[in-house]
Amino acid sequence: MNRKALSLPILISLVIGNMIGTGIYVLPASLAEYGSISLLGWLVTSIGAIFFAITFANLSKRVPKTGGPYIYCKEAFGRLVGFIVAYTYWLGNLVSVAGIAVASIGYLGFILPELNANGGGYQSYTALLLELGAIWFFTLINIIGLHTAGVVQLVLTVLKLVPLFLITIIGIGYVHLDNLPAFNLTNHSNLTALASASALTFWAFIGLEAATVPAENTPGYKAIYIATVFGTLITALIYIASTLVLMGMVPAAQLANSQFPFADAGKILLGSQAGSIIAICAVISGLGALNVCILIQGQIVFAAARDRLFPRQFAKLSRHDVPIAAQLLSSSLVSLFLIMTLEPTLLKQFNNIALLAGVLALFNYCLTALAELKFIWRKRVPVTKKIFRYSTLIASIAVLYAFIMFFSFNQKMLVMGLGAIFLCIPIYFFTVRNYEPT
C-alpha cells in the first residue's frame, strides 16, 4: 500500500467533500416544510456527528487498517458482525451514490428545462442517463488510481465551497426575519418535528468517516484524526450558517417548493446569471461527493474480500492499488438501483434515498461506537478507570445519540433498513461462515 497516495490536504477534502455534497444544496427545501425548528435539527445532528467523528478517529489508531467501520467491528465482535457491517455499510454507500447522483443532476434543472422536475418539460429518462454517466465517469477516475481520485477531489472541494461562502457572507445583508418560516409548520409536536428534521439532516453527515476507510493509503493516525474531527466541525458550521441565511433570504413557501434553493438565493443576490453559476457549482459539489463515495465503495469491498467475507477476486488490486472488480460491481449495482427507484418527482426520490441511507449509516455508526467501548473494556485496567476515561464518555454519548436518532426515522425506512440488516445473517451462514481468513 502506498502511504503517500492520500496526503493530509487530500484527506481533509475527502471528509469535507463527502459530507458537503448535494445535501446542503437540496435539504433546505426539504426542511422548509418543518419550519425553523429544522435549524435546531441541524444543531442536534451536528453535535452527534462530532461525537461519531472523534470515535472514528480514536479507532483509526487502535486498528490502523483499511475498511473503516467494517474493520473496527470485525476486530471487536468477530466475523459475523463484521460481515453484517461490511454489507450494510457497502449498501448504504451505494444508496448514497444514487442519492448524490440524483440531486447533482437535478440542480442542472435550473439551467435545462428538461431536468427541472417542477416544470412541464421534465424528462426523467434524460436525467437518468446523465446520472448514470456521472457515476461511470468517476468510476473510471477511481480506476485510474487513488492519488488521481484524491487530487480531483481536492480541486472539487475547493470549487464547491465557493458558492456556499458567497451566499452565506453576502446573503447576511439580505436576510429578512419575516422570511423565516414559523417555528413548527407540522401538525405534530415540537419533539416529533425536531426528530423528523434531524433524521433528514443526518444524510448530510454521512461520510464523516471517509478518511478512515482507506487507512493504509494515508500518512497515519494523526492525519486521519485531524481530517476526521476538524473536517466534521468545519462542515457542521457551514451547514448551520448557510441554512440560516438561506431561510432568511428566500420566502418559506418558495423555499419549500424549490428544486435548487441555493441557485434561487444566488438569483436574488446577483441576478439570473449568478443563479446559473451557483447551480453549476452545486453540481460540482455533488460530483465531488460522488467521487469520494465511489472511492469508498471499492475500498470496503476490497477490505471485506481480503478477509474472505466477499468473493476473493474482489481483493485483487491493480498496480495503482485500485480494486477494479470491486468498483465495477458497485457501480453496476448503483446503476440498477437508480433505474428501479426512478420517480416522476425528483425531490420525492431524493428524500426516500436520503432516509434509507441514513438508517443504514446510523446502524453502522452505532456498532462502531460500541466497538470502541468493547476495545476499552478489553484493557486490563481498573473498572473505574475504564468508565471515567475520555474515550469512554465520547463513545457512550455517540451510542446514546444513535439510539435516540433511530426513533426519528419513519416506520417504512426502519423496516427497509432492518430488512437489509437481517438478510445478512442467513447469507453469512450459507455462504462465508466456513471460509477462514488467510
- The confidence score (pLDDT) of residue 350 equals 63
Mean pLDDT of 122-144: 89
**Better-predicted residue by pLDDT, 404 or 342:** 404
Instruction: Say if CB 29 and CB 347 are below 8 A apart.
Output: yes
Where helices occur in 250-389 by DSSP H, the ranges are 252-256, 261-270, 272-306, 324-340, 346-378, 383-387
Average pLDDT, the chain: 85
- Tally of structural domains, the chain: 1
pLDDT by residue (tens digit) across 81-103?
Answer: 999 999 898 988 888 888 788 87
Where helices occur in 172-271 by DSSP H, the ranges are 190-201, 221-249, 252-256, 261-270
Q: Is pLDDT at 4 greater than 70 in this prediction?
A: no
Percent of the chain with pLDDT over 70: 93
Q: Is pLDDT at 431 greater than 80 in this prediction?
A: no
Instruction: Say if CB 328 and CB 59 are below 8 A apart.
Output: no
> By C-alpha distance, which of 159, 158, 170 is closest to 270?
170
Q: Is pLDDT at 153 greater than 70 in this prediction?
A: yes
Q: Is pLDDT at 105 greater than 70 in this prediction?
A: yes
**Better-predicted residue by pLDDT, 15 or 381:** 15
Structural domain contains residue 2: no
Q: Is pLDDT at 202 greater than 70 in this prediction?
A: yes
Cβ-based neighbours of 120, under 8 Å, separated by 6 or more: none
Please work out, in degrees rounded to the nearest 5, the angle formed at the alpha carbon of residue 223 by the alpha carbons of 222 and 226. 85
C-beta atoms surrounding 168 within 10 Å:
17
Q: Which domain holds residue 273?
A: 8-432
- The confidence score (pLDDT) of residue 121 equals 77
Mean pLDDT of 14-27: 78
C-alpha to C-alpha distances, 289 to 93, 120, 350, 421, nearest whole angstrom:
11, 29, 15, 25
Which of 187-201, 261-275, 337-351: highest mean pLDDT? 187-201
Q: Which residue is it, cell 425536531? A: 194
Assign 71 to helix, strand or coil. Answer: helix
Assign 251 to helix, strand or coil. Answer: coil
Structural domain contains residue 89: yes
Instruction: Say if CB 48 and CB 405 are below 8 A apart.
Output: yes
Structural domain contains residue 43: yes
- Helix then strand count (H, E) for the chain reads 17, 0
Structural domain contains residue 437: no
Assign 219 to helix, strand or coil. Answer: coil
- The confidence score (pLDDT) of residue 337 equals 81
At 60, is the pLDDT very low, low, confident or very high (cuts 50, 70, 90)?
A: very high
Mean pLDDT of 270-287: 79
Q: Is pLDDT at 214 greater than 70 in this prediction?
A: yes
Structural domain contains residue 411: yes
pLDDT by residue (tens digit) across 219-255?
Answer: 889 999 999 999 999 999 988 888 888 888 888 788 8
**Better-predicted residue by pLDDT, 388 or 50:** 50
Q: Is pLDDT at 122 greater than 80 in this prediction?
A: no
Task: Give the whole-angstrom CA distance, residue 436 versus residue 438.
Answer: 6
- The confidence score (pLDDT) of residue 149 equals 81
Cβ-based neighbours of 12, under 8 Å, separated by 6 or more: 211, 226, 227, 230, 231
- The confidence score (pLDDT) of residue 393 equals 93
**Better-predicted residue by pLDDT, 351 or 268:** 268
Q: Is pLDDT at 2 greater than 60 in this prediction?
A: no
At 18, is the pLDDT very low, low, confident or very high (cuts 50, 70, 90)?
A: confident
- The confidence score (pLDDT) of residue 223 equals 93
Amino acid identity, position 70: Y
Least confident window among 205-219, 265-279, 386-400: 265-279
Structural domain contains residue 1: no
Cell of 28: 433546505
Q: What is the CATH number of the domain that holds 425?
A: 1.20.1740.10
In terms of C-beta density within 10 A (0-12 exposed, 13-18 middle, 19 or more buried), how is residue 319 classed? Answer: exposed
- The confidence score (pLDDT) of residue 1 equals 53
pLDDT by residue (tens digit) across 254-264?
Answer: 887 776 787 78
- The confidence score (pLDDT) of residue 392 equals 92
In 87-145, where do the E strands start and end?
none
Structural domain contains residue 308: yes
Sign of the dihedral defined by the CA atoms of residues 50, 52, 56, 59, in that order: positive
C-alpha to C-alpha distances, 231 to 98, 122, 213, nearest whole angstrom:
23, 37, 15
pLDDT by residue (tens digit) across 394-417?
Answer: 999 999 999 988 888 888 888 888
Q: Is pLDDT at 370 greater than 70 in this prediction?
A: yes
Which of 69-78, 144-153, 402-411: highest mean pLDDT? 69-78
- The confidence score (pLDDT) of residue 224 equals 94
Structural domain contains residue 321: yes
Q: Is pLDDT at 436 greater than 70 in this prediction?
A: no
pLDDT by residue (tens digit) across 280-302?
Answer: 887 888 888 888 889 888 888 89
